[in-house]
Structure 1
Amino acid sequence: MEAVPNQQRNSLQNVEKNKAKNKIPNDVEMDIENLYEILPQLSQIFRIIDKIGEGTFSSVYLAEAQMNDGSRRMFALKHLIPTSQPMRIAAELQCLTVAGGTENVMGVTYCFRKEHHVVIVMPYMEHQAIGEIAGSLAFEEVKHYIFHLLKALSHIHKFGIIHRDIKPTNFLYNRQKKEYALVDFGLAQGTTDTQIELLKELLESRCVFGERNLNNTNTKPSVEKVEGQLLKPNKEEAVPCKIVSTKRRLVPVRAPLNGQAQKDTPVTLTLSAQKLNPAAVCQTLTCSCYMTDRICNVCLSRKQQVAPRAGTPGFRAPEVLTKCPNQGTAIDMWSAGVILLSLLSGRYPFFKASDDLIALAQIMTIRGSKETIEAANKFGKSIVCSQELPRLNLRILCETLRGLRTCDGSLPAEFQVSHHPTDAGSAANRGSLRSDEELQEMGWYKVPDEVYDLLDKLLDLNPETRITAVMALQHPLFNDMTDSLM
């Protein structure tokens, strides 16, 4: 991509024009001006219009560029914070260049770098926020959305990429054009057989990063191998040899009792991370504070378990919440299941938790405490819950929240809503309940059993038996969409 002759503008003029045309807020104006100053070459090609996203590790800007043929095209400029690790940046770029640009996965157009500042240029896709339209989606829209998400996951998993941050804001949806794009590989990791070389290096070792040049004069970006000294992790950090984490927490969980709605009931959760060797699981787990509401000095002195925890609260899989070291592509499938649960119920976000134990308790409320404990035992974890929480029927749960049935007292109090929209609470927390005629027209009275079967398989508590993306695409729910896979 080349700039049009005599197209150069200084940063201040750009910001002033954008401010007059788009009424940019002062703080965004300052951010744009700062970005122009950091990377002056941007002003030669792009007219930055607005800031459209901001996260922990990056900010995203909307920009316009004039192409060689005279047409104008919109781009998304992702500015990575200067503290981002060079290897991590290079790995994200390699994911985009190797797997991106097809199968609902966003590609990369160009990359700029000056010193510690990196800007990744990607095609811009206009999209709607799922949180704003979750309650207004027809069933067929939900079906197509989850199908295309599974297509993207199947594609990246084929390359051995674990996205690790699957959520609606990272799977863009253009409702009018029916376009989809999986974005943001900043937290991606590789499987043991990953085809992404830099993810393989991140998986195998910790790096002391050397200097490298991310800029490339070619229109097709390339990712060079990062030069630097590789240090092997300490064995104790890589594989914990003892019980490394013990926590007890009184977690308020709303639970039914004799069919009656109850107030918050304190449920004591104890999470113990055990040695991964199956023979060692039977080793002594108890200590002087086991099954009590205190933590002894022995537990306090134990090392914290080292395990990946990247991801967004509410979308983390049970094996992530319990710090299981062996995490694979199944964690992306769990997140896809949470998204489907949100879309079927019309409640987004579905799970909201301030820490991992509360998140685990919320999962138990849906999937059952006994089932969660049994699944945890299978991947080497011990969870103790002071109260048994029954497994919920997913159809009844979603239909109640969607307003398709009145609550009969069989659901926990936090999920109980009236059938009448005015009694249902805010749309953000309870879904957008609609009239019977609207629900009928949107297809919510004809939801097949297959979608809840798929949901159950996606929310399998055991990652070893959780459905894969390839298997999910072959699910009977999508029998009429198999042509899309050709």
Structure 2
Amino acid sequence: MEAAQTVQRSTQQSVEKGRSQHRIPRDVETDIAYLYEVLPQLSRIFRIIDKIGEGTFSSVYLAEAQMTDGSRRMFALKHLIPTSHPVRIAAELQCLTVAGGKENVMGVTYCFRKEHHVVIVMPYMEHQTFVDIVGSLSFEDVRHYIFHLLKALRHIHKFGIIHRDIKPTNFLFNRQKREYALVDFGLAQGTPDTLIELLKVVKSKAHKGGGSSKMVEESLGKQKLVPLPPNTRNTALQSSTKAPAKRPCPASLVKHSKGLLSKPKREELIPRKIVSSKHRSVPVRAPLNQRQKAPIESQKPKPPAVNPSLTCNCYMTDRVCNICMSRKQQVAPRAGTPGFRAPEVLTKCPNQGTAIDMWSAGVILLSLLSGRYPFFKASDDLIALTQIMTIRGSRETIEAAKTFGKSIVCSRELPRLDLKILCETLRGLRSWDDGLLPAEFQASHNPAEGKQDAVKKHASSLKSSAELQEMGWDKVPDDVYDLLDKLLDLNPASRITASMALQHPLFKDVTD
């Protein structure tokens, strides 16, 4: 009882001390108090100042600690939600300890664990929010940014790590110091030859729904309160896990204020279904006129019994037949953030590799060159695939899907856009009146003609010709669009790798 009261008093004192120096919301104070309560040892080392990020699987806090030499340093504390799969937690920590700490990849300093609560401690890196600076970066800034992102990807891919969630909020950027850090390996998976032992078992363990507490104890327990050797810390980067808090997006905001491609009408340009090879359909979603509210589970009718060996009769049509409805849907990894998922992820290709990270890097480069972030904003996988088609072409997307065993049926043909013309027009370097972009695209995204608030806002944010010249956007080499084309290769088998990308002529004079 006395011990509990002591912890409570210590918690309250820590929160009060933080409040006196940094005003924080009441709900954040409650979260900090809870963290002190479940992991009392934190209060003896850290003064938690604020909550700086919140996601589906974790919350991130900013904390200060006094070092043995008397100096004070800032740290990011990542508190993993207690319901996280134990092996998944251990795998994330192993990615950080084995591959982290160099080549622009997050390192780890400490790990705390008590029962089912785990906190990973990392050095804090001050950085800018991508959405606030994407329109103000010079071309030289963009070139260095993508170069260092590719360095981080090359490094983790050497270890057989597929990050699966490459996006600007997971690649921290300090513009003034030109420091970078790839963070958040919570969704990481391993390649068949991965060097991260726990990534070899994380998928199978997660599917079974169980977890080895012994494995977590071995991976986490030995690192409680024990700092890593100085030469393994990421002292050069001083990186962190800071990320904007994730909040649910209301249905009324599906047309994102800063997104390039807002949600089109479902009857326009939509792939009717995605099917596997050999004329066997894998239904994704029935057309609207065939959709009905699901009956109560106990009254839900069973699909008609069919011979699974039969060839379906809806192949290359705009409907889904009973044979397809009765087949078990193909299971494939879908983890990642909407707008950054590669075509093979959207079509549920079971064989996914490091190429999915390269696609995401391509989407980031597309945002950097066009000044639009997020570039893609879709509510589901079919809409996302449609948006990719509007840029890369429907015929090209369909042909690429065949290479990894998928067939896509689209209601109309969409032309492939020239990436240079697209980016230069969106950034204001070309006039929409040139007519170099399809009429349908111009009608939706021409600032002069568009009626959407998002388009008007973009028009008002365009730089003047003098500003664009000063930032180097009038002398962008064709090499960057060649690299963009290779990163956004629809076929994962021929998509450029990180190692190959770093040898691209675009970076011939870039130094670390």
Tell me, yes or no, whether TM beats 0.5. yes
**d(CA) in 1 for partners of 2:450 and 2:136?**
14
Deviation at 1:295, TM superposition (A): 3.0
Contact kept in structure 2, 1:167 and 1:335, CA below 8 Å: yes
The structural deviation recorded for 1:286 is 6.1
Return the offset for 1:120: 0.3
Q: Which amino acid aligns with 1:106?
A: M
Structure 2 equivalent of residue 90 of structure 1: 90
Whichever residue aligns with residue 437 of structure 1, its letter is A
Do residues 298 (structure 1) and 326 (structure 2) align? Answer: no
Q: What's 1:134 paired with?
A: 134
- 1:176 deviates by 1.1
Change (3 A) 1:361 1:284: farther
Distance 1:285 1:469, change over 3 A: farther
Aligned to 2:466: 437
* Post-superposition offset of 1:299: 2.2
Structure 2 residue corresponding to 1:378, chosen from 403, 406, 427: 403
Task: Give the corresponding residue for 1:271.
Answer: 273
Equivalent position amino acid for 2:212 in 1? G
Deviation at 1:293, TM superposition (A): 4.6
Distance 1:88 1:452, change over 3 A: same
Q: Deviations over 1:261-298 (max 9, x none)?
A: x99971241333425999xxxx9996344455543322
Question: Using the alignment, how far apart are the partners of 1:443 and 1:287 within structure 2?
Answer: 55
The 2-side partners of 1:269 and 1:186 are apart by 31
Given the two structures, how large is their TM-score scaled by the length of structure 1? 0.84
Distance in 1, Cα, partners of 2:196 & 2:278: 27
Separation of aligned partners in 2, 1:19 and 1:40 = 19
Would you say the 8 A contact 1:187–1:310 is kept in 2?
A: yes
The one of the two structures with greater contact order (alpha-carbon pairs below 8 A, sep at least 6) is: 2
State the identity %: 73
**Secondary structure of the residue that 2:473 maps to in structure 1?**
coil
* Aligned AA (2:421): I
What is the CA distance between 1:186 and its match in structure 2?
A: 0.3
Q: Say whether 1:394 aligns with 2:396.
A: no
Give the aligned partner of residue 200 of structure 1.
200
Asked if 2 retains the 8 angstrom alpha-carbon contact of 1:271 and 1:322, the reply is no
Higher normalized strand content (fraction of residues): 1
- How far apart are the structure 1 equivalents of 2:449 and 2:269? 31
Mapped partners of 1:185, 1:401: distance in 2: 33
How far 1:424 sits from its partner (Å)?
A: 8.9
Aligned pairs (5 A) from 1:103-114? 103-114=103-114
- Shift of the 165–428 alpha-carbon distance from structure 1 to 2, 3 Å rule, reads farther
TM-score, normalization by structure 2: 0.80
Name the amino acid aligned to 2:359. W
Change (3 A) 1:447 1:271: same
Q: What does 1:68-217 correspond to in 2, within 5 Å?
A: 68-203=68-203, 206=207, 208-212=210-214, 213=217, 214-215=220-221, 216=223, 217=225
1:362 aligns with 2:387: yes
Number of aligned pairs?
433
Letter in 2 for 1:456: D
Alignment correspondent of 1:52 = 52
Equivalent of 2:477, from 448, 454, 461?
Answer: 448
Deviations 1:35-72 (A, max 9, x none): 11111110000000001111000000000000000000
Task: Structure 1 unaligned segments of length 5 or more: list them.
Answer: 1-7, 222-251, 253-261
- 1:472 corresponds in structure 2 to 501
C-alpha RMSD of matched pairs (Å): 2.8
Partner of 1:324: helix, strand, or coil? coil
Question: Residues 450 and 456 of structure 2 are in contact (CA less than 8 Å); yes or no, is this contact kept in structure 1?
Answer: no
Distance in 1 (alpha carbons) for counterparts of 2:101 and 2:443: 42
| Alignment correspondent of 2:235 | none
Which amino acid counterpart does residue 374 of structure 2 have in structure 1? P
When residues 70 and 119 of structure 1 are mapped into structure 2, their CA distance, relative to the original with a 3 A threshold, is: same
In structure 2, do the counterparts of structure 1 residues 357 and 425 end up closer, same or farther at CA, with 3 Å as the change threshold?
A: closer
Q: Deviations over 1:55-108 (max 9, x none)?
A: 000000000000000000000000000110110000000000011000000100
Contact 1:106–1:183, Cα closer than 8 Å, also in 2: yes
1:78 and 1:210 map into 2 onto residues whose CA distance is: 22
Residue of structure 2 aligned with 1:312, choices 320, 337, 355: 337
